């Protein structure tokens, strides 16, 4: 199987072409520090060629949900060191996914401070999970230029902290309706300065953050996740094809390791004006960096995707969550453990480190 062959992403040699994608698990403590359970969770899944961690808050201002980890205090850095050391001892690589949630947050879990966003536009039609239960989304605080500049500095420091913690690199979370994605979308960005008003300006923040990360830790340690047609978080882009073609053309001028390209989820129907094209076919062929294809792949569809020659690796989420020995199961074409959705977010060992291995 191509999935089980040795792979290469940027300058990094992978023991196979299977990547564990980022999945929020909400198992950190209230200070954003991960525990020894998290060390075991990632160590169990170190059969992956590359692990992309759950999204990690880059600063206090970045926090959107309770019990999510950070990488902006020394205690947080020290805790992640245990994870990276254990994963490396098992022969895998691990990148930290850097996260700023933007308007996908609530003041309840932000010490009373409203979330920051490109514009003061709330998410409508859904509620947000907080430490006090589901709540309506609040009207976020529109970011000033000072806020934008500080956020770029926060990304830089988080990347440096990740390297200190032993990570092989970082992935910018530019997908799924979080802050960089919010700048791309007219539904969340109605600015009329250099960070809004047209495609070039809407892409500026994400491109500047990417360059900041590259300058801070070198491009071979940097990747980015994109979700062109994913409307999660109230993201509606007027012309998503033109926006992402421009964004990818500009990213191609930079030297970095990979783009993880996420296909749209049937769980979140796209707006009517969005095309039905396959994102890997439409955008992936134009990506200069190595491409990781993401979202709802199986053993069979992942293999077929690699055979097309566009993607260098396939990232798996839920399958890795419920099958810590996923590469071995693919090798043997073995039966899969089934996910327990009730244990995905929050809790302890159950549904986290107790999914069985093949005997």
Domains and CATH numbers, the chain: 2-343 (3.20.20.70)
pLDDT at 55: 98
Q: How far, in whole angstroms, is CA 283 from its chain's centroid?
A: 18
Which residues, at least 6 apart from 192, have a Cβ–Cβ distance to it below 8 Å? Answer: none
Active site residues: 178
* Residue ranges in the chain modelled with pLDDT below 70: none
H or E segment to which residue 128 belongs: strand 127-130
CA dist., res. 124 & res. 236, Å (int): 12
User: What local confidence, expressed as pLDDT, does residue 312 receive?
Assistant: 98
DSSP label at 26? Answer: -
Report pLDDT for 265: 85
pLDDT of residue 342: 95
Strand partners, 309: none
Which pairing describes strands 50-57 and 18-20: parallel, antiparallel, or unpaired?
A: parallel
The pTM assigned to this predicted structure is 0.97
Residue 107 CB-half CA count within 13 A: 9
Taking only the tens place, the pLDDT of each residue in 148-201 is 999 999 999 999 999 999 999 999 999 999 999 999 999 999 999 999 999 999
Per-residue model confidence (pLDDT) at position 266: 80
State in Å, rounded, how far the first CA of the chain is from the last one.
22
């Amino acid at each position: 199987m191509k999935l089980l062959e040795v792979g290469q992403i940027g300058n990094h040699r992978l023991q196979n072409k299977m990547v564990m994608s980022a999945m929020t698990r909400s198992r950190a403590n209230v200070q954003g520090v991960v525990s020894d359970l998290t060390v075991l969770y990632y160590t169990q899944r170190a059969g992956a060629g590359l692990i992309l961690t759950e999204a990690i808050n880059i600063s206090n201002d970045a926090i959107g949900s309770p019990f999510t980890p950070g990488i902006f205090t020394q205690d947080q850095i020290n805790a992640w060191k245990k994870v990276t050391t254990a994963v490396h001892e098992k022969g895998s690589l691990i990148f930290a996914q850097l996260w700023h949630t933007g308007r996908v947050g609530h003041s309840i879990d932000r010490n009373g401070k409203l979330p920051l966003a490109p514009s003061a536009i709330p998410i409508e039609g859904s509620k947000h999970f907080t430490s006090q239960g589901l709540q309506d989304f609040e009207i976020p605080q529109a970011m000033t230029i000072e806020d934008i500049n500080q956020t770029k500095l926060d990304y830089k420091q988080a990347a440096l902290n990740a390297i200190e913690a032993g990570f092989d690199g970082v992935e910018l979370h530019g997908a799924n309706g979080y802050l960089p994605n919010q700048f791309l979308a007219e539904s969340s960005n109605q600015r009329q300065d250099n960070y809004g008003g047209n495609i070039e300006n809407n892409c500026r923040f994400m491109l500047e953050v990417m360059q900041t990360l590259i300058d801070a830790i070198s491009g071979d340690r940097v990747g980015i996740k994109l979700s062109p047609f994913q409307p999660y978080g109230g993201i509606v882009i007027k012309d998503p094809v033109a926006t992402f073609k421009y964004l990818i053309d500009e990213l191609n001028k930079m030297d970095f390791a990979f783009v993880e390209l996420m296909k749209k989820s049937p769980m979140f129907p796209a707006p009517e004006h969005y095309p039905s094209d396959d994102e890997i076919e439409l955008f992936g062929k134009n990506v200069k960096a190595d491409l990781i294809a993401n979202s709802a792949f199986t053993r069979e569809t992942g293999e077929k995707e690699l055979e097309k020659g566009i993607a260098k690796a396939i990232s798996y989420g839920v399958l890795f969550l419920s099958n810590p020995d996923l590469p071995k199961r693919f090798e043997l074409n073995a039966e899969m453990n089934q996910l327990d959705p009730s244990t995905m977010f929050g809790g302890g060992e159950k549904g986290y480190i107790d999914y069985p291995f093949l005997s």
